[in-house]
Amino acid sequence: MTAQQRWQAAMMDNYGTPALELVRGEGATVFDADGTPYLDLVGGIAVNALGHAHPAVVKAVSEQVATLGHTSNLYINPVALSLAETLLDVAGLSGKVLFCNSGAEAVEGATKITRLTGKSKLVACDGGFHGRTMGALSVTGQPSKREPFEPLLPDVTHVPFGDAAALESAVDGDTAAVFIEPVLGEGGVVPAPDGFLQAAREITSNAGALLVLDEVQTGIGRLGSWFAFQQAGVTPDVITLAKGLGGGLPLGAVIGVGEAGELLKPGQHGTTFGGNPIACAAGLAVIRTIREHGLLDHVDTLGKDLAAGVAKLDHPLVSEVRGTGLLQGIGLTKPVAPAVATAAQRAGYLVNPVRPDTIRLAPPLIITERQVVDFLAALPAALDHGLQAGQES
């Protein structure tokens, strides 16, 4: 049996059946079962911040699993404690940290925190993606993902992303919180318009509501800063994290800033695996490596080079390039992103057709300038294939 046949026989069909089997990775390169290399511009969907098999992560995880693998939260685990202190340090905030295992769980935890304000009304944005668990799905602004599972949480209002006037109209004294992605990820790599996050901060503050920034995809260096809120110059009340935080291991976190960090009381929330020492050791290795290797500056510079390089191609299929740092979206003039991704894969490059008209790029933060140049040289042929597919359809 092929791997695809075994998948179909053993796995539920929620992902369909992937066409490619990956068996090994090194740096920003992955290899399939036949040994064919691919430059990984998906990064496990913005997860593999340091790429694959990074020595710092391998060392940290290996040493930790040989020392203390799991404790639960019935006991102090010094690795989780160190990571919490480190997160607050790089965030430059006074607050408290709650660890969990994924972005959706972080959003669930944040949602429970907002309920402890005594209010239940939530506001989120059209096109936003916050996860697929029932609470996270309630604030996700994508009807196709929501509708099969309704009814979801009540009292959730969605407004157009980036529309400050609509947000102000939706937020009132009964609003517990506003949930916003600084950059829509699954929504097509759409950065918040200038001034929107600042307006959201003012609107929520005036209404006595919490501002929850979902930095699951944008946090931990992805944009060339530790967090997107730092670029915007705002201080949220709650931040959700995951993806790149664990460098490939399942690790999420909620940061409650100031008074928001004091809302959860003993017995009101819990997680068996949250703060697992092995995952937290990986998280510490990720942050330490980003710091020691100057990767924030590297991401900022290379992201600008990547965006400029795509724009410079002046290809008729490319409508725009959106994003910041190493979270980039190539907007297409036709809904042929899957065809472009297929052609890129054949040429040895993995990209993500996140929407029919958008290619998402979220490579490891350690990707090299040479690798970016090679991708830009190969991209026109993949775009040509997509253009031809659009003409034939």
Tell me if 216 is assigned to a ligand binding site.
yes
Tell me if 147 is assigned to a ligand binding site.
no
Q: Residue 268 corresponds to which amino acid?
A: Q
Catalytic hit among 243, 334, 357, 375: 243
Catalytic hit among 99, 119, 129, 229: 129
Interatomic CA distance for residues 342 and 87, integer angstroms: 38
pLDDT more than 90, % of the chain: 98
Phi, psi of 151 (to 5 degrees): -80, 140
Query: What is the residue-averaged pLDDT of the chain?
Result: 97
110 vs 390, more confident: 110
- Residue-wise pLDDT for 307-338, tens only, equals 999 999 999 999 999 999 999 999 999 999 99
Indicate the DSSP class of residue 185: T
pLDDT score recorded for residue 390: 76
**The two three-digit tokens of residue 387, written as one number:** 């253009």
Q: What is the mean pLDDT of residues 99-120?
A: 98
- Residue-wise pLDDT for 69-98, tens only, equals 999 999 999 999 999 999 999 999 999 999
pLDDT tier, 393 (very low <50, low <70, confident <90, very high otherwise): low
- Does the annotation count 129 as an active-site position? yes
- Residue-wise pLDDT for 268-277, tens only, equals 999 999 999 9
Q: What is the mean pLDDT of residues 222-244?
A: 98
Tell me if 230 is assigned to a ligand binding site.
no
Confirm if 124 and 156 have CB atoms less than 8 A apart: yes
Residue 233 DSSP SS3: coil
Distances (CA, A) of 3 to 7, 13, 39: 6, 15, 22
Q: Residue 240: which of 216, 264, 276 has the closest Cα?
A: 216
Total-model pTM: 0.97
Residue 211 DSSP SS3: strand
pLDDT score recorded for residue 391: 81
pLDDT tier, 389 (very low <50, low <70, confident <90, very high otherwise): confident
Interatomic CA distance for residues 42 and 285, integer angstroms: 21
Radius of gyration over alpha carbons of the chain, in Å? 21
Tell me if 262 is assigned to a ligand binding site.
no
Judging by DSSP bridges, how do beta strands 175-180 and 121-125 pair with one another?
parallel
Tell me if 271 is assigned to a ligand binding site.
yes
Residue 156 DSSP SS3: strand
Q: Within 10 A of 214 (CB to CB), how many other CB atoms are there?
A: 34
Q: Residue 246 corresponds to which amino acid?
A: G
Indicate the DSSP class of residue 264: -
Q: What is the full DSSP assignment across 238-260?
A: EEEE-GGGGBTB--EEEEEEGGG
- Does the annotation count 145 as an active-site position? no
Indicate the DSSP class of residue 13: G
Interatomic CA distance for residues 219 and 241, integer angstroms: 7
Confirm if 348 and 37 have CB atoms less than 8 A apart: yes
Catalytic hit among 40, 99, 179, 214: 214
DSSP lists the bridge partners of residue 211 as 178
Element (H, E) at 82: helix 78-91
Counting every residue written for the chain, the total comes to: 393
- Residue-wise pLDDT for 128-163, tens only, equals 999 999 999 999 999 999 999 999 999 999 999 999
Confirm if 153 and 122 have CB atoms less than 8 A apart: yes
